[in-house]
Structures are given as C-alpha cells and as structure tokens.
Structure 1
Amino acid sequence: MKLELFYKDSCPFCQKVFRFIDKHELRDKIELLDIVKDDSAKKRLVDEGGMNQVPCLFVDGKPMYESSDIIAFLKSELL
C-alpha cells in the first residue's frame, strides 16, 4: 500500500495528523509532500485529488480528505 500525505505546515488539521503520525512513529511508512515547497506536489494534489485542500492522504493514488478520516484510516490499517 502506497501512502502519500499532502500537507502544509501552517494548516492546523495537518498538524493534528502529524501529531498522530509522530505519536505512533509512522513517518517511515508515509511519503510526505509539502504543497508550499513543492509546486509539482500542489499540482498533483489538485489534478489527481480534485481539490486544493490539505491534509490529503493518497492511498494507492486515491485521495482521502479530512484529518479525522485520515487518522481513523491510519489507526485501522497501520496500528
């Protein structure tokens, strides 16, 4: 399963997801893509995900929005 998290540091909902990821030491299982520092990541988020909204977790290329949904998914699949 390929996991890619699109984020920006100033987003409080992204920080909520990062707190969960860090608490459970999951950073090595998720590719992190900063849409502020990486223009191609932002373009891909919009082109493939359909929205310019973060956090967005791509699970095998399919977008998942909403921090609570992302955390629930990570909890069920990785813990």
Structure 2
Amino acid sequence: MKILVDIQAIVNPLGAIPVFLSLYGERSPKEANAIARVTALSVGLVLLISTRIGKRLGITGLNIATRIMGLLLSAI
C-alpha cells in the first residue's frame, strides 16, 4: 500500500490533468486518447525501470545523497 501512495505522490495525476488538457485540448478525442495511452505507458515504464535500478543501488551501498544527485542529474 505504501508504494502506491509513493507513486501517487511522484506522478500526481490530478495535477497532470490541467497540463494535459491545456496541451491537447484542441485535438480530436481519438488523438488525445492515443497520446494519453503512450504517455501512460512511458511513465509506467520509467517508474518500473527506476524501481529496478533503485533496488540494485541499495546492494551497492550508495547513500541517499548520491541517489538525490543522480535524480537531479537525470532531471536535467
């Protein structure tokens, strides 16, 4: 259950709705659905890969400061 709450905090689907509508509100519903589907799959894949990599980083003994720096670098 905790992981679902964590994912909700990271992804913030309610905050993404206005952004999505402002970017794709003028497109046809079919196009908007296709874009939403690709976006959802991409985000899910990134979260899955990040989870797998995160577990392996725990084995290497990297601390939280290193993880935060990696997160900041990947965000750029």
Q: With structure 1 as the length reference, what TM-score do the two structures score? A: 0.28
Higher relative contact order (CA 8 A, sep 6+): 1
**Higher-Rg member (1/2):** 2
* Structure with greater proportional helix content: 2
